[in-house]
Amino acid sequence: MKTVLITGCSSGFGAEIARYFLSRDWHVVATMRKPDPSVLPSSERLTILPLDVTSEESIAAAIDAAGPLDALVNNAGIGWLNAVEGTSMAMVRQIFEANTIGTMALCQAVLPQFRSRKSGVIVNVTSSVTLKPLTLLAVYTASKAAVNAFTECLALEVKDFGVRAHIVLPGRSPETKFSETARGRIGAAGGFPEAYAGLVESVFANFASQDPDEITKSVDVAEAVWRAVNDPAAPMRLAAGKDAKALMPA
């Protein structure tokens, strides 16, 4: 039986990816900052572990407890929407610690076992915002674009060891708690700068006018991750969701 470790499984994409792999007879190691067994179906093939991707000690403990892995899916991260002027450097560091450095640290932690066995797949979930410049998303986009570049270089490094690395790029997904938690974080940090009020209003108006059929569903992401893990011919970048696919270069 193959085993996958997935980060950020408490809700949204991570929970759906975990359910998808469970339904296809994989052993799933689902990690969460605060483990909650109620978010996933009970299964003998499910292991839930605590994991804070910004802590080296937490990462080491989770990898040790998980045992041998066949795949790693880096999905955990935090959202942010604000002008550069409205983003403190403390927040910038927090976002990069979770979205970028945490992903790099997990990759580094599993590579020794993948390399020694000459097999293994890493899938890093980033975002379709990296495919097009968007207003109020400079910091968040930078954190995800860095993961894209990291993954593409990593894939070259590990190819000769039989290890693959891929990127899954989801679009906007209103069904997840991502936007809700991002708004809470923005509010706690003081909100948007007053000078940008008109710009902020136009951005949210654009969100509201988006075609409800041109969005990303959690299952779109799960399907893309499944393909990346199981199809040796999968492309480096896989868009997930109609809106994300529309942004992919031809």
Partner residues linked to 125 by β-bridges? 168
Q: Provide the annotated active-site residues.
A: 140, 144
CA distance 155 to 54: 23
Cross-strand bridge partners of residue 71: 4, 121
210 pLDDT above the threshold of 90: no
The mean pLDDT value for 46-65 works out to 98
Question: Measured in Å, how far apart are the chain's first and last C-alpha atoms?
Answer: 37
- pLDDT mean across residues, the chain: 94
Q: What is the pLDDT of residue 187?
A: 67
Which ranges of the chain does DSSP label H, i.e. alpha helix? 12-22, 56-66, 89-96, 102-117, 138-158, 178-188, 197-208, 218-230, 242-247
Residue 242, pLDDT above cutoff 90: yes
User: How many residues in the chain?
Assistant: 250
> What is the dihedral sign for C-alpha 41, 43, 45, 47?
positive
| pTM listed for this prediction | 0.94
**Spans of all domains in the chain:** 3-247
Q: Which two tokens stand for residue 221?
A: 């992401």
pLDDT in tens, 68-85: 999 999 999 999 999 999
Partners of 113 in the β-ladder: none
Helix (H) or strand (E) holding 165: strand 163-170
pLDDT tens for each residue of 75-128? 999 999 999 999 999 999 999 999 999 999 999 999 999 999 999 999 999 999
Element containing residue 4 per DSSP (H, E): strand 3-6
The fold of the 3-247 domain, in CATH, is Rossmann fold (3.40.50)
